[in-house]
């Protein structure tokens, strides 16, 4: 039985991993199918070249470095990872986006001298549960 992921409701067209055997096992278990559109599994990732996972490895390294000195990161409901997501999407500029944040590249800007404060204030006004 093929099931759709809970968050997106669709399965990915492509999954990119390195050659770790457990990734191939997980791909076969979750996405391999004889019927319908098959998710492509690209597993020849290198540090150099056209296909790489440098961005994810960099993010994983940042989180690991933070985990060493921060309590609470290993809890399932930790707000720390959501904070990293917000930081990377709204505050951290990216070379590949010509010095813009991903949100700015999409036309979403945050006004004010203290962008974190602006985001927190806006979030507190618009409580979504």
In a domain, 94, yes or no: yes
The total number of structural domains that make up the chain: 1
- 1 falls in which pLDDT band (50, 70, 90)? very low
- 66 falls in which pLDDT band (50, 70, 90)? confident
In a domain, 104, yes or no: yes
Q: Which residue has the higher pLDDT, 63 or 45?
A: 63
112 pLDDT above the threshold of 80:
yes
pLDDT digits (tens, 9 = 90+) for 79-108: 877 888 888 889 988 888 889 999 999 999
- 63 falls in which pLDDT band (50, 70, 90)? confident
In a domain, 100, yes or no: yes
CA of 74: how far to CAs of 64, 71, 78, in Å?
11, 8, 7
Taking the alpha carbons of 40, 7, 97, 61 in that order, is the dihedral positive or negative? negative
In a domain, 63, yes or no: no
Q: Are 24 and 53 in contact (CB under 8 A)?
A: no
In a domain, 65, yes or no: no
Residues in the chain: 129
């Amino acid at each position: 039985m093929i099931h759709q992921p809970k968050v997106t409701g669709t399965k990915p067209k492509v999954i990119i991993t390195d050659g770790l055997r457990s990734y191939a096992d997980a791909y076969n278990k979750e996405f391999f199918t004889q019927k319908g559109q098959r998710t492509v599994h690209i597993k020849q990732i290198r540090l150099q070249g056209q296909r790489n996972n440098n961005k994810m490895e960099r993010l994983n390294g940042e989180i690991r470095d933070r985990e060493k000195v921060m309590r609470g990161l290993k809890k399932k409901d930790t707000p720390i990872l959501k904070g990293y997501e917000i930081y990377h999407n709204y505050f951290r500029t990216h070379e590949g986006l010509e010095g813009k944040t991903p949100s700015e590249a999409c036309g979403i800007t945050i006004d004010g001298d203290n962008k974190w404060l602006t985001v927190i204030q806006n979030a507190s006004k618009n409580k979504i549960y």
